[in-house]
Chain A
Amino acid sequence: MSKLAPTPGQTVGPFYGYALPFTKDNELLAPGSPGSIRLQGTVYDGAGNTIPDAILEIWQPDSEGNIVQRTGSLVRDGYTFTGWGRGSVGNSGVYTFTTVNPGPTKPGAAAFISVAVFARGLMNRLFTRVYLPENEEALANDPLLSSLDPERRKTLIARRDPDGGLTWDIRLQGGDETVFLDFQQDGSLDNSVGNNQDAPA
């Protein structure tokens, strides 16, 4: 357990749009280049409305399952795959990344992309994962997915598009709410949801 108390997060707010985006932020490699795919989806709120002011980050291994440690994400040279990208949703709540299918980091492991979600009105970032849909055996053996009931598990698995891309929507709230993750080992830190006793009367 950590010795120092962590600094709290705060909402990204409404005005990140002139600060966090940068040129080719959502292009982990050039669109149309060999092996490139589109990862896209829509971000929804609890009423089923699209959210026009969310920003996502993805972090993933390369197509061989290697975890890349190369600089150059902010000033992309068009050739170096860094594994990290940032993408703002548009006015219709749709995000798009150009990336590669992540490889499994161990033989037989389920391949996934790590995702951080930020939005106006979202008090702290949320972590989640998006899994490739194909390897059913690997998905069945995945420690996280196998700890979820089937309805919730579905929210973490992308749909393969006819063009080879991936579609994966994010629902911040509701019956089909995306599974969001708490990585704190002692379970005491990111405990800020479900405080229903504090709902105003």
Chain B
Amino acid sequence: MPQDQTVQQLESEELVPPAEPHAAHDSKKVETQADLSAEIQAIGDRYAQALKNGKGPETMPRLDYSPYRSSILRHPTKSLHHADPETIELYSPAFGHQDVHALESDLTIQHNGEPQGERIIVAGRVLDGDGRPVAGQLVEIWQANASGRYIHKRDQHPAPLDPNFTGVGRCITGTDGSYSFTTIKPGAYPWKNHLNAWRPAHIHFSMFGSEFTQRIVTQMYFPGDQLFPLDPIYQSIVDQDARDRLVAQYDHELTSPEWALGYKWDIILTGSKRTWTENEAYGDAGDEE
């Protein structure tokens, strides 16, 4: 259960320093948002020029994106080596209802009381590059609480923890690739990339495809966030259309009357290379509880 894991994690990480120390660059000068925004702008301008010159649009974040200071020593400097996926890489691990209980998709019922904050539903579909549903696969999420605090010990933001909110959920996609979580809208939170750095509200998502090469961990954002232009992690995706793919849409059809606001967000995995067979759309049979 996530709660048990949390306790273990908290105990084992007492001695870990706070997240995002001023590492990787030894400058004594305090870097401001203006400094970072200038770097972000310069990279964006060069990308816009490259597009004008006929370069194709980028769809992924840049691994080499120095405005996110912790990436400076953690990105490969050699080009990724092209490889044709083989054997094991053309399959994905199988997950089923042995692995995930149906109630794990509701993050608001994991404790004795109701969590604080704005209750929301986040739902959508996991699809491959041809629009085919990814059925019977694992989706994991984690997030800050309504006040912008993670339960993780490394989070030292002095905002209140919520005894009724852990912020961890899982589900298995349906035959149509659908997933749905009930949770609390996370708050923005400060971090130490630079002075006055704030992350836009987001939910971390982890997904598997029908092939291991489709594995993705990403972050879902909420529409209209004023922090988007200021955030080096969101801006590490230099293409606006690509960035927009991480932003959920408010969906009144998904909103539950007198209960929760609905946000819709579909995930498109990188294209599937293995020949698709019809029965895969039915997910993993025979794993009933």
Chain A proximity of B192: nearest CB distance (Å) = 10
A108 at the interface (CB under 8 A from B): no
Tell me if B19 and A59 are in contact (CB < 8 A). Answer: no
B86 at the interface (CB under 8 A from A): yes
Tell me if B142 and A67 are in contact (CB < 8 A). Answer: no
Chain B proximity of A105: nearest CB distance (Å) = 4
A46 to B72, CA, bound (A): 8
Q: Chain A residues with Cβ under 8 A from B2's Cβ? A: 18-19
Chain B proximity mask over A81-115: 1 for CB below 8 Å, otherwise 0: 01110000001000000000010011001001110
B227 at the interface (CB under 8 A from A): no
Tell me if B73 and A46 are in contact (CB < 8 A). Answer: yes
A7-B268, A193-B75, A195-B64 as given contacts; A83 in contact with B127, CB under 8 Å: no
Nearest neighbor of B217 in chain A, beta-carbon distance: A12
Other A-B pairs beyond A59-B212, A71-B284, A118-B217, 4, CB < 8 Å:
A7-B218, A14-B19, A116-B215, A173-B74
Tell me if B99 and A75 are in contact (CB < 8 A). Answer: yes
B241 at the interface (CB under 8 A from A): yes
Chain A proximity mask over B229-258: 1 for CB below 8 Å, otherwise 0: 000011011000111011000000000000
Chain A residues 92-147 with CB under 8 Å of chain B are 102, 105-106, 109, 112-114, 116, 118-127, 143-144, 147
Tell me if A91 and B16 are in contact (CB < 8 A). Answer: yes
With beta carbons under 8 angstroms apart, the residue of B71, B129, B150 that contacts A2 is B129
Residue from the set A74, A119, A143, A187 with the largest chain B CB neighbour count within 10 Å? A74
Chain B residues 114-131 with CB under 8 Å of chain A are 127-131
Chain A proximity of B264: nearest CB distance (Å) = 14
A73 to B92, CA, bound (A): 12
Tell me if B271 and A7 are in contact (CB < 8 A). Answer: no
Q: Chain A residues with Cβ under 8 A from B82's Cβ? A: 181-183, 187
Chain B proximity of A157: nearest CB distance (Å) = 15
Q: Chain A residues with Cβ under 8 A from B138's Cβ? A: 74
A109 to B216, CA, bound (A): 28
B61 at the interface (CB under 8 A from A): yes
What's the dominant secondary structure at chain B's contact region? Answer: loop
Residue from the set A67, A71, A190 with the largest chain B CB neighbour count within 10 Å? A71
With beta carbons under 8 angstroms apart, the residue of B65, B140, B154, B233 that contacts A17 is B154
Nearest neighbor of A184 in chain B, beta-carbon distance: B270
How many A-B contacts if CB must be within 8 Å?
314
B68 at the interface (CB under 8 A from A): yes
Tell me if A9 and B94 are in contact (CB < 8 A). Answer: no
B87 at the interface (CB under 8 A from A): yes
A29 at the interface (CB under 8 A from B): no
A157 to B70, CA, bound (A): 28
A18 to B19, CA, bound (A): 14
Residue from the set A15, A91, A179, A196 with the largest chain B CB neighbour count within 10 Å? A15
What's the dominant secondary structure at chain A's contact region? Answer: loop
Number of interface residues of B (CB under 8 A): 103
With beta carbons under 8 angstroms apart, the residue of A18, A177, A197 that contacts B6 is A18
B100 at the interface (CB under 8 A from A): yes
Chain A proximity of B21: nearest CB distance (Å) = 10
Nearest neighbor of A105 in chain B, beta-carbon distance: B87
A23 to B150, CA, bound (A): 21
Tell me if B80 and A180 are in contact (CB < 8 A). Answer: yes
Chain B proximity of A16: nearest CB distance (Å) = 7
Tell me if B16 and A52 are in contact (CB < 8 A). Answer: yes
Nearest neighbor of B6 in chain A, beta-carbon distance: A18
B197 at the interface (CB under 8 A from A): no
With beta carbons under 8 angstroms apart, the residue of B79, B92, B167, B246 that contacts A10 is B246
A172 to B6, CA, bound (A): 28
Q: Chain A residues with Cβ under 8 A from B33's Cβ? A: none
A106 to B86, CA, bound (A): 11
Tell me if B75 and A122 are in contact (CB < 8 A). Answer: yes
A91-B15, A114-B212 as given contacts; A8 in contact with B243, CB under 8 Å: yes
Tell me if A71 and B96 are in contact (CB < 8 A). Answer: yes
Chain B residues 60-118 with CB under 8 Å of chain A are 60-66, 68, 70-89, 91-100
B5 at the interface (CB under 8 A from A): yes
A60 to B244, CA, bound (A): 35
Tell me if B155 and A183 are in contact (CB < 8 A). Answer: no
A1-B271, A6-B269, A172-B75 as given contacts; A21 in contact with B5, CB under 8 Å: yes
B168 at the interface (CB under 8 A from A): yes
A8-B243, A12-B217, A192-B63 as given contacts; A46 in contact with B77, CB under 8 Å: yes
Q: List 16 A-B contacts (CB under 8 A).
A: A2-B130, A7-B269, A8-B243, A9-B218, A12-B204, A18-B2, A18-B142, A22-B5, A59-B212, A67-B91, A71-B95, A73-B95, A123-B63, A123-B65, A182-B83, A192-B62
